[in-house]
Every structure is written in structure tokens, then in C-alpha cells.
Structure 1
Amino acid sequence: MIPLFAANFLGRMTGGMAPLGITLFLRSHDHGFGFIGLVLAVYQLSSATGGPLLGRAVDRFGQVPVLCGSALGAAAGYVLLVGSGGDNRQAALAAVMLAGLLAPPLEPCLRSLWPNVLAKPELVATAYALDASLQEIIFIVGPLLIVLAGELAGQGTALLLTAVLMLLGTAAYALPHRAVRAWRGLPHQPDWAGPLRSTVLRRFVLAMVGVGVGLGALNIGTVAYEEHVGQPGLSGVLLGTFAGSSLVGGLVYGVVRWRIAPAGRLPWLMSGSSLGFALMISVPRPALALVLTAAAGLFLSPVMACGFSLISEHVPNGTATEAFAWMATAVTAGNALGAYLAGLAVQQGGLRAVFVLPVVAALAAALVALTLGRAARGGPRLPEPRPVSEAVR
């Protein structure tokens, strides 16, 4: 399973590289934070739109054709962005829209694959926790790779590296592994709402939008903070610290024997990160900023792992990939909103204003998560809808 993990994570490195890479590429061409926030919002919203559509296609047609086709299209978007030279705003918006819309759904594909390759339910739960923890490596290594590649070869080359790693990882995951090639979604009666028929999923998706807002604000806020203190490369270090702390939090979460159901844990986990963000409003010195960023990141992986378990227990059969894609879409949509609002906040209210956003977003997400308990007690799964002819009889 290690090669499967490694290949999937290599392809997913785009998630840790692209937002910062796009930001630094456009800043190197003297674009303001307002426009950069708009570009990141378009990129994230495109990814949020494409994720469930590609997830539904995977549930219907399998993983390999959807992953390979979408990876090629997304790579073309990054090439178009670099080819535009960063000077043509319309071309930049079109490029990030293409790259986001066709971002290969590697995360939901891996998570829907585990029940097929792991025989015991407890092993599947362990795989979810391990996935949530190890994915933070993407957000540790990704920003550092962008900063390093940008320093050595320029910001355009850094974005092209993002596309290359995505293509290599997707191919290494989709083509050599028999389990991936053979995977098919469980038979089910098609329904236009898909997994969103689940009340639990709908509420959980709304709560995860708040998590995404905090992450989007952090991407902009770290670059603005870097410029404020005059330390080039600090944004990548801060984002890497946040992700490293999240990895530690996820590993701790995975070894704890929880007596509280996932729906009961989630509000506490979502509210935990707000304290670190709240203290960042004071714009501390870099050393303290690293500590506070780590404190905020400690709860991210536990939130994600808890969400994976919640989804696996409360969505209709045959909709797993799309359901996991909706989780990613919620985070991505929130990320887009957070990036856009953070760009405006930097311009209109200064650096302090940008760190207010993740505090408010985390608390709002926790409030929505409080409503999950009653919905979860309604039953673990929805029955598959019967065909019309059967229902009439």
C-alpha cells in the first residue's frame, strides 16, 4: 500500500503548491493583492465546481479514465498561465479556471478505494486517520518546493513544476495498480442529488466551508505578513509550520480511542484552531508567529479524519467518491471565499484585519457542526431510492 499512498500524494502535491505558487507568480508581475485574491478565488471555485462532477464520473466510469483525462487538462491550465507571462489578466483568469475545474480528484479516489483493498472496517478507519495526517506533508513540502524553485529558477518554472508533479503522481497512481484499474462504484439507483440526500453530509459540507475560509485567509495572510516583516520566504515557512502541526495533531488523534461519536467530536475540533488565529491579530514577531501558527494548525487533521469517518457512515451506497469530493469542494469553496476576503481585508483594513477572518470562520463552523448530532442519530445510511415502477407497486 505504500506505493499507492506515495503516488497519490505526489499527484496531490498541487494542493500545497498551487495557491502559493500562483500568488508569488502574480506578485512577481506586480499585481496587487486584490487581483490575486480574485484569481485564487476563481481557481478554488473552479476546483470546487469540478470536484463533485468528476467524483460522480468516477463512481460511474471508474478511476483511471477520469483521473488521466482531468490531469492532462489541468496541466494545460498551468502552462497557459505561465505562457501568458502574468501580464494578461483575462488569460490568467481563464488559465486558473481550467486548472481548477479539471484538477484530478485524487483525494476522493483514494478514500473510496480503501474499503476495496482493506478487509477490516477498523483498518479502513486507520487508513482515513493516516491519510488525514500524512496529507499535511503536502502542505509542508509543497510551499517549500514553490519557494525553493522560485528562488532557483523563477516563479514561472515553479508553477510548471506543479503541473509536472501532478501528471507524474496521477500516472503512477492510476496506471500500475490493479486495484485502481479494477475499482468501480457500488451499484445504485441514480439520483440527481447523489450523496447530498444525506442531511448529515449537507450540514457537514456547510461547516467545512468555514474551515476552508480560514485556510484561504491564511494563504494570503502569510504572504502579507512576510512582506510586513521583510523576510522573504517566511510565508512558505509559516504554511509549512501550520501543516507540520496539523500532521502531529492527526497522528495523536489517530491513536486515541474515542468514546464520543464523530458528530460529537467535530464542534470541539473545529473551534480549537480559533485561539491561535486570534492571537495572530496582534501581528507578533516571527518567532511567536510560528508558535501561534502551529497552535492553529494542530486541529486541522483531526477535523479531516473525523469528517472522513462521518462521511463513510452517513452517505448512500455507491456515492462514496462524490461524497468525499463534496467535502473537498466545501473546503475549496471556503478557501476561495477566504482568499478573496483576505485580499480585500489587506487592502482595506491592513494586516490585522486578515487574521480576524479565520477566527470568525472557525467559530461559525463549530456552530454548524453542533447541529450534526441530531441528524446523525437519524440513521447511518439512507436507503437507495426504488425505481418508479417498484414504488408504484
Structure 2
Amino acid sequence: MNRYRDLLTTPGVARLISAQLTARLPSGMISLAYLIHVERLFDSYGLAGLVLAATSFGQAAAGPLTSRWMGRWGMRPVINLTLAVSIVSMAAIAFLAMPLWGYMVFGLIGGLATPPIQPAVRTIYPKMVTSKQLVPLFSLDASAQEIIWVMGPVITTVLAIQVSPPVAIIVAGVFLIVGGVWFVSSPELGSVRIPPNKGRIGRVLTKPPVLLATVTGFLLIGAAAAVEVAVVSVFGETGPQAGAVLALWAIASLIGGLSLGGVKIGPWALTVRMALVTVGMALAMGSTDFWWLVATLAIAGAGLAPALAVMFAIVSASVKFSETAESYGWVGSGQLIGAALGSAIAGFAIDGYGSIGGFATAFVFSLVGTLVALAFKRSHPDLRDRDPSPMPDTEPISVVRPAPPVA
């Protein structure tokens, strides 16, 4: 644990991690909050899933685009603009009475305005720590993300069920405002400038590690989102059991991420971690008993944060510094789309087959993710003896040679 203590005492690291996690907490809240809110309005998980699908489409388009904008106009202006639009769209969904297409439109607008905080912070990290500290920092960050992907739904579930879904949406908006303002006011955003990416948009996806991290991240977070919906459907809208199961799942993932943070990343790292998640998801289909779900999801959780940390590291080691923001934009979009579509597909599966349909959806997502990691193992860089920092941007330099002396 000394490595994490050293990281957190590095100037700015603890503050930046805390700020970005607060600002990104709504990413783990809003899909489930929209699902519960729209399902209550239209009495259908399937129709609620359409709103999530519209949101995910917006996120897919926004992630890489807004990340590139940060290289052109700066991080603060882009994040401030997207924060404002996001808050308006969330308030509209929470308080306006509309037909289904209206909720889909505002979901799309909110998705398009997803603040590019994840690509911003992952671009800044390599400039704050040494190369030896970078992999542990990614592990710490991935472990802390459990607050987003698991604790976020816990908060949403409690608020939406015990109070009301609009309150859950507005609380997510409050986190977005507080965290966003905190993040953009951090001095690191002024001291680190993202160089403009001169390549065409999407070219970073031709780099196999970036594509691998984007696809597996989509599938991993899709599985996690499906589990969240399934757990809520098991325990209904009364009692704290759903929140307790998800909280214990988060703790297991946190422990797994911190425990493996010092392990060197070899070419099998992503496959092994994804396989651990898949085993847990497969076992979760066996029963809806409270303690069975706690035990099986703990197995899955032990591989969740470590898998995310590997994805972040292989992207960092495979791109130029000017390409980092867009690369993480694609990875972040993949995760956000996975969260929305995992929830949506699980909703339809639960409508048709009950709660087990939701767990089966999670298993399929994670199994495909494991098979993708295995099939494209050659695209996975070996970082056991390699600096995971982004490659510096270089340009040809003209050299003027002095004329030879006259004899």
C-alpha cells in the first residue's frame, strides 16, 4: 500500500481523482435513474430502454468529438459548455411531462453533451507522476471508479425507490455541477495543454490496443449495467437488499483493483481478468438468493477494476500524447454506451424471462468480452518491462550544417 500512499501525497493527484470522480458519478447513476423513471411512467422496461438507447447514441457521437475539441479550444471551455447542456437535459427529463419521443430527444441531447472529463484526466495523469507510478495510478483510478459504476447505482436505487426517480436524477445533476466546477478549477487544467490531434477523427481506432480497450470496455461495463438492473428487479422496490448487494460488489472490485495494482501487465492480463468476471456472472445465474448473489458477484467484482486498469494502461502505452484525449474519448464512449445498452437489453430480457434474463445478459456481455480479449491477445502490448507513458509527439527538425572550412 506504500505505492498508493506515495501517489496520494504527490501534489494534485488526490484532488484531481476526487474531483473527476465526483463529476463522473452521474455516469453510473443516470442510466438506472432514467430506466426507473421512464418505466414508472410507461410501465415497461422495454420502452425505458429506448430512452437509454437514445442517450447512448449521443454518447457514442460525443466522446471522441468533444475530446478532440479540447485539443483545439482547451479543456475548460469545452467542459463548461457540455456541463451546462447536460444539466438542462437532465432537468427536462426529470420534470417535463412528455410523450416517449420527448424523453428520447432529451436523452440524445444529454448524451451528446456528456462532459469529456475522463479523457481529460487520463491525458493529465502521465504529466503528474513518474512512469513507474503510472500503472499503480491507473489501478487506483480504476478501483475508485467503483464509486461510479457500482456505488452510483446504489445511490440511485435508494433515492429512486425510497423517494422518487426525479429526485435521483436531480441528485445526479448536483454531483455533476459540484464535481465539474471542482474539476475545471483545478490548476492542472491550466498547466497541461493537449496538443491538437492532426489526424482524422477515428484514426486512433486503427491502433489495435485502443480498439481492444474500447470494445472490451463496452462489453465489461455493459455486463455491469445488466447486473445492476437484474439485482433491482430481484429485490423489487422495497427494502435495502439491492443496494447492499451492489455495495458489496463494489467493495470486492475495489479490493481486487488495489491488490493487483502492483502486478506487471503481461499479454494475458486482460483475458485473465475478463475471464474472472465471466465466471462470477455465470455463477450469478444459478440463484437469486441474497447471499448467493453477494458471493458470486464478489468473484466477478474481483476482476472488474483490474480489467479497467489494464485497458487504461495499454491505451496510454500505445498512442502519442496528442492522441490520448481522443483515444480515451473512444474508450469512455464505449463504456458509457455499454452502460446504457446493457441496462436496456437487460430490461427487455427481464420483461420476457424474469430477473434471470438480466443476469444472462450480463453473462453474455462478459463472455464475449473475454473471447475478444483472447482472440486479439496479440494486440495487447507487454508492459512488464516497458514505460506505459504516451509516446511524445515529434516533428521533423531541419538541421543546418555549417559549410566545411576553406582550405
Task: Give the TM-score range, shorter chain.
Answer: 0.7 to 0.9
Shift of 1:315: 1.9
2:223 to 214, 220, 224: 214
**Residue 199 of structure 2: aligned partner:** 190
**Residue 3 of structure 2: aligned partner:** none
Cα distance in 2, alignment partners of residues 375 and 26 from structure 1: 41
Q: Is the 8 A contact 1:81 1:95 kept in 2?
A: yes
Shift of 1:309: 0.7
**Residue 58 of structure 2: aligned partner:** 46
Shift of 1:278: 1.4
1:155 to 165, 172, 178: 165
Which amino acid in 2 is paired with 1:361? F
Shift of 1:308: 0.8
Q: Deviations over 1:278-320 (max 9, x none)?
A: 1222333112222222221111100010111100111233110
**Residue 168 of structure 1: aligned partner:** 178
Flag the 1:100–1:377 CA change in 2: closer, same or farther, 3 A: closer
Q: Is the 8 A contact 2:32 2:343 kept in 1?
A: no
Alignment of 1:83-122 (within 5 A): 83-85=95-97, 88-118=99-129, 120-122=130-132
Shift of 1:95: 1.8
Which amino acid in 1 is paired with 2:112? L
Q: Is the 8 A contact 1:59 1:319 kept in 2?
A: no
Flag the 1:274–1:375 CA change in 2: closer, same or farther, 3 A: closer
| Segment drifting more, 194-203 vs 180-189 | 180-189
Cα distance in 2, alignment partners of residues 18 and 252 from structure 1: 29
Flag the 1:163–1:188 CA change in 2: closer, same or farther, 3 A: closer
2:257 to 247, 250, 271: 250
Cα distance in 2, alignment partners of residues 277 and 152 from structure 1: 28
Q: Is the 8 A contact 2:71 2:196 kept in 1?
A: no
Kindly indicate whether residue 79 of structure 2 is the aligned counterpart of residue 67 of structure 1: yes
Alignment of 1:1-393 (within 5 A): 1=12, 2-85=14-97, 88-118=99-129, 120-150=130-160, 153-175=163-185, 177-186=186-195, 189-227=198-236, 231-255=238-262, 257-258=263-264, 260-261=265-266, 263-376=267-380
Flag the 1:152–1:220 CA change in 2: closer, same or farther, 3 A: closer
Shift of 1:104: 0.8
Which amino acid in 2 is paired with 1:96? G
Structure 1 vs Structure 2 CA RMSD = 2.6
**What's the % identity of the aligned pairs?**
24
Q: Deviations over 1:240-299 (max 9, x none)?
A: 2222221111011113x32x52x3211111111112211222333112222222221111
Cα distance in 2, alignment partners of residues 108 and 280 from structure 1: 33
Which amino acid in 2 is paired with 1:251? L
Which amino acid in 1 is paired with 2:170? L
Cα distance in 2, alignment partners of residues 270 and 82 from structure 1: 36
Flag the 1:51–1:188 CA change in 2: closer, same or farther, 3 A: closer
Which amino acid in 2 is paired with 1:310? I
SS at match of 2:260: helix
SS at match of 1:28: helix
Which amino acid in 2 is paired with 1:278? A
Rg (Cα) greater in structure: 2
Query: Aligned pairs, how many?
Result: 379
SS at match of 1:314: coil
Q: Is the 8 A contact 2:51 2:104 kept in 1?
A: yes
Which amino acid in 1 is paired with 2:259? V
TM-score normalised by L of structure 1: 0.88
Flag the 1:289–1:35 CA change in 2: closer, same or farther, 3 A: same
**Residue 404 of structure 2: aligned partner:** none
TM-score normalised by L of structure 2: 0.85
SS at match of 2:200: coil
Cα distance in 2, alignment partners of residues 341 and 140 from structure 1: 18
Q: Is the 8 A contact 2:31 2:343 kept in 1?
A: no
Unaligned runs of 5+ in 1: 388-393
Flag the 1:136–1:147 CA change in 2: closer, same or farther, 3 A: same
| Segment drifting more, 103-112 vs 21-30 | 21-30
Cα distance in 1, alignment partners of residues 296 and 323 from structure 2: 38
Cα distance in 2, alignment partners of residues 60 and 49 from structure 1: 18
Which amino acid in 2 is paired with 1:178? P
Q: Is the 8 A contact 1:242 1:294 kept in 2?
A: yes
Which amino acid in 1 is paired with 2:106? A
